[in-house]
Each structure stands twice: as C-alpha cells, then as structure tokens.
Structure 1
Amino acid sequence: MTHALPQGSTAERVTLRSALRDLPAYKPGKSAAVAGTVQYKLSSNENPYPPLPSVRESVAEAAAGINLYPDMACETITEAVARRWGVSPASVSFGAGSVEVASQIIRAVAGEGDEVIFAWRSFEAYPILTALAGAKAVHVPLTQDERHDLPAMAAAVNEHTRVIFVCTPNNPTGTSVTADELHDFMAAVPKDVLVVIDEAYVHFNVDPAAAQGIDFFRAYANVVILHTFSKAYGLAGLRIGYAIAPDYVSAALRAVAIPFGVSALAQKAALASLAAEEEIEARISSLVTERDKLQRGLVEIGWDVCPSEANFVWLRIGATTREIEDIFTHAGVIVRAYPGDGIRISVGAPEANDQAIHAARDAFNHFTTTSALAQEI
C-alpha cells in the first residue's frame, strides 16, 4: 500500500532555506545507458582496477564489527597519513571523501556575506558547497588553454574573500598548476585568506614543473591540501578523504565534521592501501600509460586535446556537447557531458579506452561537419 504525500497549501509548508532555490544540482557520471549491450562507463573518473587482495581482506575483517560505531577520531589512519607526509597528526583531518572535507573547510571559514573563489570550469561541487554555507561563489574563467588564470583569481580577492580553491590537476580539464605559478599567486594573496590546493588527482601528475601541495603547506601558513582515496587508491565506494592543514584549521574541520562520518571499513581500507603503495604505484603507472595512449589517439584523429595530468581527458566542444555525448553513448562509451562546454572521458581499462578512440572518430566527423555548417550560416 502506498501513501500519497499531503499537498497542503503554501502556508502549511515548512519554510526551506532561500539558498536552495538556485542551488545547482550535482550530476554524477551516467551509468550504462543501453541495456543488453557492452558498454564502458568512463564518466566518473573511477579507477578501473578492483581492490587489491590485501584491501579486500582488511574490509572483510572490519565487516565483522559493523554493529559498532567507527573510531570518530580516525586515530590510526590519521597517524599513518601523518607519517606518510611527515606532518603532525594534529594537522590531519578526515571526511567522507575529499568533497566532504571541502564542505567542512567552507563551513568552518565562510558564511553569509563571505566569498569563495575558484576557477571555472572546475570541480562542480564547489559552487554547491559554497551556496549551502550561505556564501557567494566567485567563478574565475579558465585561460584559453584550459588552465587556472591565477593572476585573475588573485585580482578577484577582496575584503569578503575567505577561501580560494586551486584544483590541480583540474577537474574536468586535467591541466595542472606549476610551482612557480603558485608561488607567485601565494605572494599576491592576503595571508588571512585560506588557499585550498585540491589534489584529488595528484598521483597521476607526472609533470616535473607541477606544484606539489605538501611543499606549499610547509612554506605558507594559509594553505590546506586536499587528498582522497577515491581515485588512485580505488576506494571511491567507501568515501574517505583528508585535509592537511594548520593545526587550528584542522581542529575547526573536526568540529564541523559529521560525527562518525568515516566508516570503519573505509578507515581499514585506507590503512591497507597505504601499506600497499608499491602495488598502487604500478596501477597508477598503467593508468598514466593508458591516458597518454588515449590522448595520442584523440590527437591523431584531429581533436584539439589539452595535455592532461589526471586520469581523464577533456574535449571542449561547446554547443555540440549533447550530440557528441550521444555518439559516444551509441558506441558503448559513457562519458561525462558538461552541456555547452565539453565532455570528459575517464581513463578506463585498455579495451574501454580503445573503444573510446573508436567512438571519437565518428564524433570528430560529426563535430567538424556541424562546425563547417555553422560557419557557412
């Protein structure tokens, strides 16, 4: 038996926050769209490898105790991460994925009347988390070559600015910020503004000139770095990420965190993953090789692809995004579409990447034909 929700008049309804009216919806990557066909999901930047045996074993052991609350302080994994990076355990705080830690940062630092700056397009959760905190999101356009315009971001700082996110490598474009660029940026940013270096994809970054967040944390008193176990470590389904921040900021993040937000399974899996970093590194190397293969294939077809330092590649295709997405879908490749901007193709298993290159040929023919017709009109 089902029960219809009572409609009631407007006067009888609970008043919801006004911020929800204009709140953009977070759109996860699509799953398989056509039943009964072989399809490859390359829409969510997921690691295509299954969990390592040692990680599976640790999760299975932890599952016996899921009737109990997890360690709210995440003490064991905190100490392990602190050792991994050579920082104080007081500087490390956890959440259910780095996106939840980003939410903690904004809620701890920004509120009504404050501003949060980030590049655009970048991680689409930033404007959502900012709006939920009651703050104003300030979008700074990327450069023509899909990179952070750090001088423009510094120029956007005013007395209301509380937080700046620098996503490097950037999601969805895959471009990274160099160390020299970030040092110049930090010199231009007031020391009472928190700069968050979001390194969700840092493990795939092989550019020797790229900024390394841990170096900036050690050099500047207003830097926080964000890491996740979802991507390189392949724990997306367990939701665990962390920040390395000044001790007083970490204390604030723990204060606003959801109690018991990180499950015991996630903590155990993260601990086992840190202990298996040699195996993880081998998988990362394979994914970087596949990323480079995917990029070369797209360039050989004719696509203008900016170099990616993440586990995905970006095609800026503007108004034809939905049409191009459909071509990939019908070819059995599920990609992530950003209407009006472009598509992001995650790096998957070799056969998935091969199919993506195959689909990209048909997509390029359609794109070039459509572009030529538009120019004639």
Structure 2
Amino acid sequence: MSTPTPRRNVLAIPAYVPGKPPAPREGLTTYKLSSNENPYPPLPGVVEAATAEVERLNRYPDMGAARLYDALAERLDVPTTHLAAATGSVALIYQLVQGFCEPGDEVVHAWRSFEAYPIAITASAAVSVPVPVDAEGRHDLDAMRDAITDRTRVVLVCTPNNPTGPALRQTELDAFLDQVPEHVLVVVDEAYVEFVRMDDPVDGVATYRDRPNVVVTRTFSKAYGLAGLRVGYAIAHEPIASALRAVSLPFGVSGVAQAAAVASLDAEPALLERVDALVAERDRVLAGVRAAGWDVPDAQGNFFWMAAGDRTPELAVAADDLGIVVRPFGREGARVSIGETEANDRVIELARSFPQL
C-alpha cells in the first residue's frame, strides 16, 4: 500500500538542534548558556505594552505591521516599503531562499555558521555551498567569492558569525561585494549587531543603501530580549522587500510581538545600558578563559567559541557538572553564551578545570 511521500529535499533537511535547557539540580542554581539568550528581563514598558495587546487576542494582528514599520523607519531613516517583518530573522532567511532560488540554485555561505542556513536552503530544494571558516573562525571571503558560480543566487554573510564569534570589517565586506555579480542577492545577517565593539564595523544599513542586491536581517531576540515572541525584520530595496512580504506567512508576527518590539525601540537608553553591561561581561569572561590557556577567537556577539575538537562532548559534560549548559557542535567545539554573573564565573571555572589541549 502506497502512502504520500514528501519531496526528496524535505527528507534531506538536517535537523535543527536547539540549545538544551538545564536540568534542575538540588542545592545548585543552573544556567542555560546554550541559546544566546539575553539574561535580562524585557526592557521597561515592554511587558505593559504586551499585556495591553493580550486583551485583544480575539482579533488578528496587523498584517501590515504599520506601527512597527513606522517605528523602524524612523529609527533607521529608511522608507517603510524597504522593510519586511517576520517571526525572527531566521524566518527571513527561509523566505529569502524561497523567494530567490529555483530548485538546484546554489547558496554560498560560511561554515561553520548559523545552523539554520543549510536547513533553509535544503527546504527550498536549493543547493548549499558551504565554505569553511578560517583558523580564526572568520569568513574566508576570498574562498566565498571563488565559490560563486553561474548557479549562485544567494550569498549568506553572518556578522558576527554564529557560533564562532568574529565579525567582518566594513572594508572587507565592501571589497567582497565589489566582486559579487549584481544579480546575486547578498544577505548580511546582523542578528548580533548591537554587541559589536571593533574598529571599522560593518554598517548594514549604509551598505544596503548603496547596493541594490544587499538585504540586511536583524532581530529583536538577542539584544532586545524578545526571543520568546519571535520578531525580526529585513531592510532591503523595494523589489527585495516586496518579495519578502509576498512569501511571508499571513499574520505571522503576532500583535503582542509587534507591540513589544515597538516598546523596545522606545526604551533605547535602557537597551544601550544593558548591552554595554553584557559586552563588559563578555570581555571579563574572555580574559578569564584566555588566562586559563584557551585560544578563543575574537567574540563580537553575546557568545564565544571554545574549540575543543574531539573533546567537545566531554566539555559539555564538564559544563553540566558545574550547573551550566553550553551548546556543543559535534566534535568541533562549543558555543557559550554570556549570561548571569554567576553563570559567567562558572564558565571561567570550566576553562580552568578543562584545559585546552
């Protein structure tokens, strides 16, 4: 007896592995450092705005996200028609590949990079072209340029790169973009842009203004602390933004999420204060981990990379023994989020008790 069968590309989709939550431990507070979550509660005014919207749950949300688009347009100085919202920036990656790739078209991206990239590519029956990051965990832009062929339709650039940590410089990105064919869509994924502290940082908005084939994706999940509400946005010229809106799930961004995002934008002073505090904690943790003998790549997000190689599973167990959960990636290494002060202290303890070989 025959049964319905999914398309072959659907059967080939790699599984997304979410960050594991910590198990309760008697007498020990446990911490989740496996999902790059913001340890702070929602910004001032956000819970009130979200609660007010909850009272209208019997109504559909604004499919046009007018208040959110107006707030973003004012903040970023872009037309509202150059914006597209979705359920987190990850949804925009799916929509971009779906909207711009025919089956068999190629998508070039660094690897290891964001875990959802090959999933989104395979789901759209496109072909993933992973380009290894260099020894410092950075995008190898020369190799990515060389990987572009006549079949390439999209290039994904993650800066800062998740999970390895380094970010690109604007001069590097500009030199790369100068060599990308104009018909190829380049996605600059800036999910962690608020945490970047370096010379010559990438300015995604300025880059999109000058280049019609560039789209920038950002999220409210990380710095703004709205991971549980799932709202992200893209900035792109009208043809690209229009295509994104066309393939988006109707009413995908809830009214509660829209209200919380607008309120978060209004709380910018508190946001900047919290981001600065997290960056200071990141620097403190990196100093402690490096002092313990670990060679850690530059970290420009709210996380860093521990290259443990074949010992990665053992590192994850050692972290769990200390009451912290990190995100292991096979036998390559583990990504560690910056969390509460006590959790961060335990990360430094982990680095001291589990030396890098």
Q: How does 1:163-242 map to 2 (within 5 A)?
A: 163-242=154-233
Unaligned runs of 5+ in 2: none
Please name the residue that 2:7 is paired with.
17
Output the TM-score relative to the length of structure 2.
0.98
- 2:182 is paired with a residue whose SS is coil
Contact 2:73/2:79, CA 8 A, preserved across alignment = yes
**Separation in 1 of the partners of 2:119 and 2:50?**
32
**Separation in 1 of the partners of 2:165 and 2:193?**
10
- 2:160 is paired with a residue whose SS is coil
Q: CA RMSD in A?
A: 0.9
Letter in 2 for 1:22: A
**Separation in 1 of the partners of 2:245 and 2:302?**
30
Return the offset for 1:34. Answer: 4.8
Name which of 140, 145, 150 aligns with 1:154: 145
Contact 2:194/2:275, CA 8 A, preserved across alignment = yes
**Separation in 2 of the partners of 1:223 and 1:53?**
33
Unaligned runs of 5+ in 1: 1-10, 369-377
- 2:277 is paired with a residue whose SS is helix
Return the offset for 1:112. Answer: 0.5
Please name the residue that 1:375 is paired with.
none
After superposing on structure 2, the runs of 4+ consecutive aligned residues of structure 1 that deviate more than 4 Å are none
Q: Deviations over 1:73-99 (max 9, x none)?
A: 111101111111111100000000000
**Separation in 2 of the partners of 1:104 and 1:142?**
25
Contact 1:169/1:177, CA 8 A, preserved across alignment = yes
Please name the residue that 1:63 is paired with.
54
2:84 matched to 1:81?
A: no
Q: Deviations over 1:145-176 (max 9, x none)?
A: 11000111011111110110100000001100
Q: How does 1:349-368 map to 2 (within 5 A)?
A: 349-364=340-355, 367-368=356-357
- 1:226 is paired with a residue whose SS is strand
Please name the residue that 1:95 is paired with.
86
Q: Deviations over 1:166-212 (max 9, x none)?
A: 00000001100111111110111000000000000000001121211
Return the offset for 1:123. Answer: 0.1
Please name the residue that 2:304 is paired with.
313
**Separation in 2 of the partners of 1:53 and 1:243?**
25
Q: How does 1:218-367 map to 2 (within 5 A)?
A: 218-364=209-355, 367=356
- 1:188 is paired with a residue whose SS is coil
Return the offset for 1:35. Answer: 4.0
Output the TM-score relative to the length of structure 1.
0.93
Contact 2:190/2:217, CA 8 A, preserved across alignment = yes
**CA radius of gyration, larger in:** 1
Aligned length: 356
**Separation in 1 of the partners of 2:167 and 2:97?**
23
Same amino acid, percent of matched pairs? 46
